Structure 1
Amino acid sequence: MPEKSKYEIGRETMKADSHWLNRERLIFYPRIFLLLLLAIGLKLFLRSKNTVDLSGQPFGYDFITFWGASHLALTGHAQDAYSIPLLFKAEQLAQPASKIAYPWYYPPSFHLVVLPLALLPYIAAYWTFILSTLGGYLLVLRRIIHGNIAMWCLAAFSGLWMNFFHGQNGFLTAAIAAAALLSVERRPVLAGVLIGLLAIKPHLAILFPVALLAIGAWRTLITAAVAAITFMAIGTVTLGTAVLKAFFASLGYARLFLENESLAWRKMPSVFAFLRLLEMPVTWAYVVHCIVAAVAVIAVWQVWRHCRNRNLRGAALMTATFLVSPYVFDYDLAWLAFPIAWLALDGLRTGWLRGEREVLVAVWLLPLLMSPIAGALKFQIGPLVLCSLLWMTYRRAAAAPMTGTTTDEGHADQIGTFA
């Protein structure tokens, strides 16, 4: 009698046992968490005065750096965005009551993206940026999932709300990365252009060359390199070479702030932050982080090299990105909506293994719970949850068929049939 595959075992387990994460709970729980997140937002609003809270943080507090950098560029001083005192003066033009200075470490390419924002008043610019990037984010997600239950789960996903509250670019980078992954097979040139655009945050694009080399996608890889260089060159020509020099100089300050906790480790789901919260010396924290990053890179290579399942390939790359870069934040976890969706579809198609649904729930809750837990216990759970998600993806990829591709996009309400 032939040995059963993991997928067959998973299917039998799913049929034999009633799982706690059933359709009724998937209808009920997201609504509860959405109410909780809306209550948090209302509390922040009520505690603010003229859109600045009691601690001096403005509404959409990270977005104020985008507006300030835009103002400096529009007035012919783009390079001043990399000087915290000069940028703070520009930020106070947007919100005079703001008391906290926020730094700017972005390359000229992203400076080009935010360039028009200061043409609008601060609040109008915030809503324009957030809603337009959210629209792109949802548009790409709709290529993967739809249906009422799936949309409720997405609406209550705390990674979405963390990016919303921060006023950050997580929607933009996630949409670009996921759209590139969806385009690699059928539209390799478009995929390359999108990967090149992701160089607005280079540390989030670092695994794409690994994946493309694994499948021999040279056309996409070359297009991505040309697009990234071109986009950077356009930004440099538009804003001046001083901006490029200031960007490279700012990277040293970013590293210093990362190492000494000027950047809050409790909000950073990286292995480095996990180890620094445990008071490991900087050098050893980097060493261990690099070891974990190397394992993540190997996992991505193996999945892309040996598995033809597009959903698992995308989930592996987007998850491993957070284990490779030490410089990631809770708002970047808006990316995780895509691995959750891809793995949920794969689980519904092939059956579930023990503990997989619990991992997806933990990932869904991670952006909301990570910072409070780290603040209370001095323990960063982010890397543990992300490693579990990557292992789940790798295990599924190892058991997946070696030939053929999957096109599980648009599975309506299947996300509501876990049990």
Structure 2
Amino acid sequence: MTRQSAWHLYQRLWLLLAILLYLPFPALLLNNIIGTTLHPNHIWTDDAQLLPQAFFAMFWFSGMLLWRHFCAVHGLGQTATPFLDQHVHVQLATSAPFHLTWLYPPLMGLLSLLYACLPLALSFWVWRGLYLLIAAASLRRAGLGWAPIWLGLLGPASVIDFIEGENGTLTGGLAVSALLLMHSAPRTAGVLAACLGIKPQTALAFPFILLRRRQWPALAATIGFGLLLVLLTLPFFGIEGWRAFFLSSSPAASGLAATSLQQIFPVAGATLLYMLRSFGVPLGLAGIAQLAVFAGCAIALWRLWARPGRPAIARMAASMSLGALMMPYGYLHDMVGFSLAMMAMAFQTSPARRPVYVGLWLFAGHSATLAALSGHILMPLAALIGALMAWREAAPQTPPHAHNPASAGPALHPGA
């Protein structure tokens, strides 16, 4: 066998293996679609057990109660909803009213209000579809080709996000788009970055990017649109809602992250904190390590965006990987942005590196498989590999016309 034929065989084998490793996820999605279609009213509970879609149902119920609270305060009356009264069995860990008890910022409450404008089952499907379309449109606007867009948005992490009814597809698509548009359309990038306020841990990388001297237009757009979104929350949450978020919700989330892994093992956990604890590292020491990695990633992001001329897609992929490492609290449904970045890199890297990026795209779902089998969470290792590889490919490039002005030509849009 010649070297060339061996190489072609290798290419076919790793592609076949990737397809086989991906197939369980569309099967899982199909099973979910059939189940929710046949039993639309079981989207919340089934024999007292939470179904995967319970995250979306939680948002929907919260939005319904927000509408009730708003109507009661303003004397607008309300329509009885027996289904709501019969199916809400959430025990709150605080004495605050439900509309003030919220693990997410009030910005997410705006989406919950929109969810609750439709019947629960219909709303689930409408908003799943809308998130896909919004993410795809913003990514296309940012210059990615359709192949990496749809492979990224239908990857393992996105399937997990879909069936859980979370918002990782939306936040992932917006984050990747914002990073790609940072120089070509900074104001649009700033608006997209502000929308990540619905889930702040997915935007931890952005302050260290936006505060660079060259990013002032994007920073101004982020602050301006962010303030507008905050103003929109005030009629429903008021100042009290924001105070409750900062005083009650953050400690509640920290308490959830600190829950004994023997009590609840987060197979879909995706953070360094979870990984270290799965290996028996004490909570305090794991927290210190997470803080140290956060600081290191912040410095790396500052350096990454300090020098112009870096390839846009590689810089975006390195940033998304570093952002994944920075998160102290997150799950695989928050890895859609990382998954998109790895697929985008797979389409532009060398054939020798392509299998690694595809493997990282797959690992954003199969991390849960390995965690269930081994009892260890390994997703941060994939993020580290992605960061190192993308960083290497994000080295500043010298334009061909730098030494020969006659060779200058029109700039290509990233991913065009």
Band of TM-score, shorter chain? 0.7 to 0.9
Name structure 1 gaps, 5 residues minimum.
1-13, 79-89, 411-419
Tell me by how many angstroms 1:252 deviates: 0.7
Deviations for 1:345-365, whole angstroms, at most 9, x for unmatched residues? 431xxx35x6x3343132121
Separation (CA, whole Å) in 1 of partners of 2:26 and 2:243: 42
The 1:91/1:276 distance shift into structure 2, 3 A limit, reads farther
SS of the residue corresponding to residue 49 of structure 2 reads coil
Separation (CA, whole Å) in 2 of partners of 1:20 and 1:390: 29
Deviations for 1:122-148, whole angstroms, at most 9, x for unmatched residues? 11111111110111122234441235x
Q: Answer yes or no: is the 8 Å Cα contact 2:26–2:159 preserved in 1.
A: no
Report the counterpart of residue 58 of structure 1 in structure 2: 51
Amino acid paired to 1:144:
L
Q: Answer yes or no: is the 8 Å Cα contact 1:215–1:304 preserved in 2.
A: no
Tell me by how many angstroms 1:373 deviates: 1.6
Q: Answer yes or no: is the 8 Å Cα contact 2:181–2:189 preserved in 1.
A: yes
Aligned residues: 377
Separation (CA, whole Å) in 1 of partners of 2:373 and 2:65: 39
Report the counterpart of residue 177 of structure 2 in structure 1: 179
Name which of 11, 16, 23 aligns with 1:22: 11
Amino acid paired to 2:26:
L
Report the counterpart of residue 320 of structure 2 in structure 1: 318
Separation (CA, whole Å) in 2 of partners of 1:308 and 1:95: 56
Separation (CA, whole Å) in 1 of partners of 2:267 and 2:319: 24
Separation (CA, whole Å) in 1 of partners of 2:298 and 2:279: 25
Tell me by how many angstroms 1:298 deviates: 2.3
Amino acid paired to 1:388:
I
Alignment of 1:61-140 (within 5 A): 61-76=54-69, 93=84, 96=87, 104-140=102-138
Tell me by how many angstroms 1:31 deviates: 5.4
The 1:280/1:38 distance shift into structure 2, 3 A limit, reads same
Deviations for 1:44-69, whole angstroms, at most 9, x for unmatched residues? 55699653456612351210111011
TM-score calculated relative to the size of structure 1: 0.79
Alignment of 1:386 with 2:383, yes or no, is yes
Report the counterpart of residue 403 of structure 2 in structure 1: none
Report the counterpart of residue 291 of structure 1 in structure 2: 292
SS of the residue corresponding to residue 185 of structure 1 reads coil
Alignment of 1:36 with 2:24, yes or no, is yes
Separation (CA, whole Å) in 1 of partners of 2:152 and 2:177: 18
Q: Answer yes or no: is the 8 Å Cα contact 2:105–2:242 preserved in 1.
A: yes
Report the counterpart of residue 251 of structure 1 in structure 2: 250
Report the counterpart of residue 340 of structure 2 in structure 1: 338
Amino acid paired to 2:166:
Q
Separation (CA, whole Å) in 1 of partners of 2:82 and 2:194: 29
The 1:39/1:53 distance shift into structure 2, 3 A limit, reads farther
Alignment of 1:363 with 2:360, yes or no, is yes
Tell me by how many angstroms 1:119 deviates: 2.2
Bigger RCO (CA 8 Å, 6+ sep): 1
Tell me by how many angstroms 1:158 deviates: 0.5
Deviations for 1:154-191, whole angstroms, at most 9, x for unmatched residues? 47510110111111111111222122223221222222
Root-mean-square deviation (CA, aligned residues, Å) is 3.3
TM-score calculated relative to the size of structure 2: 0.80
Tell me by how many angstroms 1:255 deviates: 0.6
Separation (CA, whole Å) in 1 of partners of 2:139 and 2:85: 33
Separation (CA, whole Å) in 1 of partners of 2:341 and 2:367: 18
Tell me by how many angstroms 1:368 deviates: 2.3
SS of the residue corresponding to residue 359 of structure 2 reads helix
Report the counterpart of residue 413 of structure 1 in structure 2: none
Name structure 2 gaps, 5 residues minimum.
72-80, 94-100, 401-410
Amino acid paired to 1:401:
Q
